Amino acid sequence: MGEVLHIKGLTAGALTGLNLTLTAGECLALTGPRGVGKSTLLRGIAGLAPTKAEAMRFQARDLLTLDAAARARAGIALCAEGGIFATLTVAENLALGARLARPGPWTPKRVWALFPDLRTLGHRPAARISGGQAQMLTLGRALLANPALLLVDEVTTGLSPLVAGQIHQVLDVLASEGMALIVAGALPNGRHRSLNLEAA
Amino acid sequence: MTETLANGLLLGGLYALFGLGLSLCFGVMRVAQLAHGDLAIAGAFAALALSDHLPLWVVLALVPVLAFGLGWALQRWLLDRVMGDPMRPMLVSFGLSVVVQTLLEQAFGPGARGLQTQASTAAVSLGGLSLGLVPLATLGLAVGLFAATWGLLHHSDRGRVIRATAENARAVALFGADAGRVRSWVMGLSVALAAVAGIALALRGAVTPFAGGERLLIAFQVAVIGGMGRLWANFAGALALGLIHAVSFRLDPGAGLLYGHLLLVAVLLLRPEGAPR
């Protein structure tokens, strides 16, 4: 499996001189106390937070020359807590993810099979779904783009252990299918490696 | 009195056209675009100037397209540079309104001019009432454009992206969209709709280069009474405003637009959430 992400000497927010390499099918868990820069790093890779770096490559493309929209089109997806559009319906939020729809295994049918709530609640404004459903929506929406790199920011915060466990299982499946993942927050036992940003 | 009410509804159709573009612009960009009325009048004068050389139907199709381009460029190269704090684009649009008005006066003189055609004075008999063809067509056009705009916003990919941009302009980049382009497109549409409203005004009467301020006031009342960005409520608000103006002109001609302003005050007192947040 090839290299998906390569970062050298990255400075963003509180982070300085961070180096990171990620290959396809690999899952990296970012750990460290609140405020250490986990979200900033993910937003920086997605292009939403200002970053400086000596080198930043995604699948051999130079990320430093791409804005957030171009990074999304290239195959980087960010799902973050609170990232849903509350004034749009559930189905419309999903349709935004499907705009990019790169070739890949994730179709609306597969997302609905994974999260049946997203189908039954399709016409409901996203402002009126539960926290757990909102997390499923951000994840399902990101998957519809079939990203090569999925950045997951705290999507299990505040969820019941059952739902959180379900989402962690999904993340395992994604990595086993060859997606590269970076997850902010510790993960339960699974095939992933951890990076403590406090020590990095 | 029936005829007064009917004419009030038709007047409301014209008001709705003025409010639509402004409501769209504010709904997406949260910017009070103070040049809306003057750009509408500029659209009317552009149609007047072009109608000397081109058939009317060409003018009616061409001016909104030109206005779209003007609005697009305006957002891209002027307003987008000062976005962020809502005060700054508002002040820029105020400056623009003065510039447009002055340019119109320089180019066309201060006098009133109308876009007269054979249709201008034509009337249609409807259930015993004699109604003007142009006002009827204006109301029909308003219904059509409100429906089209609603359909665009709620049943197209572009519309979804526009509504998502209105809620969180930064986050739409995650779905491959460029919020700056979305804003330019919406402003293009807003100015094109303003031009359509201005042409409708010139077709039913006369306009002067100074008519923009009064038209902006009408557009604001329509947008505020229904709630900014809430299209069908805006449409209902426009009809209510047209009815009130028509009835008050008949019963209390000296009061001018007073009763329309009172409607706005009443709405703001009773339902402040209808006002811009």
Residue owning tokens 């739902």 = A163
pLDDT tens digit string along A3-49? 999 999 999 888 889 999 999 999 999 998 888 889 999 999 999 99
Q: Give the pLDDT mean for B216-223.
A: 94
The C-alpha atoms of residue B83 and residue B89 are separated, in whole angstroms, by 6
Chosen from B174, B183, B228, B231 to mutate, greatest number of chain A CBs within 10 A: B174
The range of the structural domain enclosing residue A180 comes to 3-196
CB-based burial label for A125 (10 Å; 0-12, 13-18, 19+): middle
Cβ distance of A95 and B167 shorter than 8 Å: no
pLDDT at B49 > cutoff 60: yes
pLDDT tens digit string along B9-42? 999 999 999 999 999 999 888 889 999 999 999 9
Query: Between helices B179-204 and B212-226, what is the axis angle to 10°?
Result: 120
Query: What pLDDT is recorded for position B274?
Result: 57
Number of structural domains chain A divides into: 1
pLDDT at B148 > cutoff 90: yes
pLDDT tens digit string along B192-207? 999 999 999 999 888 9
CA angle B205, B129, B6 (to 5 degrees): 60
CB A156 within 8 A of CB A185: yes
Cβ distance of A68 and B160 shorter than 8 Å: no
Neighbours of B92 (CB within 10 A): 19
Better-scored residue on pLDDT, A200 or A28? A28
The C-alpha atoms of residue B245 and residue B222 are separated, in whole angstroms, by 13
Cβ distance of A87 and B171 shorter than 8 Å: no
CB B197 within 8 A of CB B141: no
pLDDT at B107 > cutoff 60: yes
**CATH number for A8:** 3.40.50.300
ipTM: 0.91
pLDDT tens digit string along A172-197? 999 999 999 999 988 887 678 888 88
Cβ distance of A85 and B167 shorter than 8 Å: yes
CB B38 within 8 A of CB B219: no
Closest CA in chain B for residue A80: B171
Better-scored residue on pLDDT, A96 or B116? A96
Q: Is B127 left (phi over 0), alpha (psi -120 to 50) or beta?
A: left
B175 touches chain A (CB under 8 A): yes
What proportion of chain B, given as a percentage, has pLDDT over 90? Answer: 73
* Chain A residues 65-104 within an 8 A CB cutoff of chain B: 67-69, 72-73, 77-78, 83, 85-88, 92, 95-97, 99-100
Neighbours of A112 (CB within 10 A): 16
Query: What pLDDT is recorded for position B276?
Result: 46
Residue A162 in 3-state DSSP? helix
Residue among A52, A47, A111, A55 nearest A74 (CA): A47
The shortest C-alpha distance from A167 to chain B (Å) reads: 21
**Model confidence band, residue B273 (pLDDT cutoffs 50, 70, 90):** low
**Both structure tokens of A181:** 């993942």
Query: What pLDDT is recorded for position A132?
Result: 86
A20 touches chain B (CB under 8 A): no
Q: In chain B, where are the structural domains located?
A: 2-103+134-274
The C-alpha atoms of residue B135 and residue B124 are separated, in whole angstroms, by 10
